[in-house]
Protein backbone atom coordinates (compact mmCIF):
# COMPACT_ATOMS: atom_id res chain seq x y z
CA UNK A 1 0.00 0.00 0.00
CA UNK A 2 2.79 2.44 0.84
CA UNK A 3 5.36 1.79 -1.87
CA UNK A 4 3.05 1.05 -4.80
CA UNK A 5 -0.04 3.11 -4.14
CA UNK A 6 1.64 6.01 -2.29
CA UNK A 7 -1.24 5.86 0.14
CA UNK A 8 0.33 8.44 2.43
CA UNK A 9 0.01 11.10 -0.29
CA UNK A 10 -3.78 10.95 -0.54
CA UNK A 11 -5.25 14.33 0.28
CA UNK A 12 -8.93 14.15 -0.53
CA UNK A 13 -11.30 16.72 0.94
CA UNK A 14 -13.84 14.33 2.43
CA UNK A 15 -13.40 11.26 4.57
CA UNK A 16 -15.84 9.27 2.42
CA UNK A 17 -13.77 9.82 -0.76
CA UNK A 18 -10.58 8.92 1.07
CA UNK A 19 -12.09 5.68 2.40
CA UNK A 20 -13.35 4.69 -1.06
CA UNK A 21 -9.93 5.37 -2.60
CA UNK A 22 -8.16 3.33 0.08
CA UNK A 23 -10.59 0.44 -0.48
CA UNK A 24 -9.88 0.53 -4.21
CA UNK A 25 -6.14 0.50 -3.52
CA UNK A 26 -6.58 -2.49 -1.20
CA UNK A 27 -8.23 -4.45 -4.02
CA UNK A 28 -5.33 -3.62 -6.34
CA UNK A 29 -2.77 -4.52 -3.67
CA UNK A 30 -4.43 -7.89 -3.03
CA UNK A 31 -4.36 -8.70 -6.76
CA UNK A 32 -0.65 -7.82 -6.94
CA UNK A 33 0.17 -9.90 -3.85
CA UNK A 34 -1.85 -12.82 -5.22
CA UNK A 35 -0.06 -12.72 -8.58
CA UNK A 36 3.36 -12.51 -6.98
CA UNK A 37 2.61 -15.34 -4.56
CA UNK A 38 1.24 -17.63 -7.28
CA UNK A 39 4.25 -16.97 -9.52
CA UNK A 40 6.63 -17.94 -6.72
CA UNK A 41 4.73 -20.91 -5.27
CA UNK A 42 3.00 -22.55 -8.24
CA UNK A 43 4.79 -21.13 -11.25
CA UNK A 44 3.42 -23.79 -13.64
CA UNK A 45 -0.19 -22.71 -13.13
CA UNK A 46 -1.99 -21.03 -16.03
CA UNK A 47 -2.11 -17.24 -16.16
CA UNK A 48 -5.85 -17.57 -16.85
CA UNK A 49 -6.33 -17.92 -13.07
CA UNK A 50 -5.38 -14.26 -12.63
CA UNK A 51 -6.08 -12.66 -16.02
CA UNK A 52 -9.03 -13.11 -18.36
CA UNK A 53 -8.41 -14.01 -22.01
CA UNK A 54 -8.24 -10.44 -23.33
CA UNK A 55 -5.91 -9.35 -20.52
CA UNK A 56 -3.31 -12.10 -20.98
CA UNK A 57 -3.34 -11.67 -24.76
CA UNK A 58 -2.85 -7.89 -24.50
CA UNK A 59 -0.15 -8.42 -21.87
CA UNK A 60 1.75 -10.81 -24.13
CA UNK A 61 1.52 -8.52 -27.16
CA UNK A 62 2.51 -5.43 -25.18
CA UNK A 63 5.46 -7.01 -23.37
CA UNK A 64 6.82 -8.77 -26.47
CA UNK A 65 6.00 -5.95 -28.92
CA UNK A 66 4.06 -8.18 -31.29
CA UNK A 67 0.58 -8.13 -32.78
CA UNK A 68 0.02 -11.89 -32.71
CA UNK A 69 -1.06 -13.26 -29.31
CA UNK A 70 -0.63 -16.94 -28.40
CA UNK A 71 -3.60 -19.28 -28.76
CA UNK A 72 -3.22 -20.87 -25.34
CA UNK A 73 -2.58 -19.13 -22.02
CA UNK A 74 1.00 -19.24 -20.77
CA UNK A 75 2.15 -19.93 -17.21
CA UNK A 76 1.69 -17.43 -14.38
CA UNK A 77 5.43 -16.97 -13.85
CA UNK A 78 5.78 -15.73 -17.43
CA UNK A 79 2.80 -13.41 -16.97
CA UNK A 80 4.37 -11.84 -13.87
CA UNK A 81 7.65 -11.42 -15.73
CA UNK A 82 5.83 -9.69 -18.60
CA UNK A 83 4.07 -7.32 -16.17
CA UNK A 84 7.36 -6.64 -14.38
CA UNK A 85 9.05 -6.01 -17.73
CA UNK A 86 6.50 -3.27 -18.40
CA UNK A 87 7.36 -1.86 -14.97
CA UNK A 88 11.08 -1.64 -15.70
CA UNK A 89 12.29 -5.05 -14.50
CA UNK A 90 15.28 -6.23 -16.54
CA UNK A 91 15.23 -9.91 -15.59
CA UNK A 92 18.97 -10.49 -15.23
CA UNK A 93 20.07 -13.68 -13.47
CA UNK A 94 21.19 -11.78 -10.39
CA UNK A 95 17.91 -9.80 -10.13
CA UNK A 96 15.84 -12.56 -8.57
CA UNK A 97 12.04 -12.42 -8.61
CA UNK A 98 10.26 -9.19 -9.55
CA UNK A 99 9.09 -7.13 -6.61
CA UNK A 100 5.71 -5.68 -5.78
CA UNK A 101 6.53 -2.12 -6.82
CA UNK A 102 7.71 -3.16 -10.28
CA UNK A 103 4.54 -5.22 -10.74
CA UNK A 104 2.39 -2.26 -9.62
CA UNK A 105 4.10 0.01 -12.18
CA UNK A 106 3.75 -2.64 -14.89
CA UNK A 107 0.03 -3.11 -14.21
CA UNK A 108 -0.57 0.63 -14.28
CA UNK A 109 1.20 0.83 -17.67
CA UNK A 110 -0.73 -2.13 -19.00
CATH of the domain at 95: 1.10.740.10
Q: Are 46 and 94 in contact (CB under 8 A)?
A: no
In a domain, 77, yes or no: yes
Q: What is the pLDDT of residue 101?
A: 86
Q: What is the pLDDT of residue 6?
A: 62
The number of folded domains in the chain is 1
Residue 2 has pLDDT above 60, yes or no: no
In a domain, 2, yes or no: no
In a domain, 59, yes or no: yes
Q: What is the pLDDT of residue 54?
A: 93
What is the domain extent for residue 91?
A: 7-109
Q: What digits encode the pLDDT tens for the residues 41-87?
A: 988 899 898 899 999 999 999 999 999 999 999 999 899 999 999 88
d(CA 98, CA 90): 9
pTM, full prediction:
0.79
Amino acid sequence: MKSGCNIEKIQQRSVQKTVMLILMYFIIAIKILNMTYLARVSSDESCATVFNEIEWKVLYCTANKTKVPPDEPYVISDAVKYVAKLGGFHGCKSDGSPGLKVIWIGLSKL
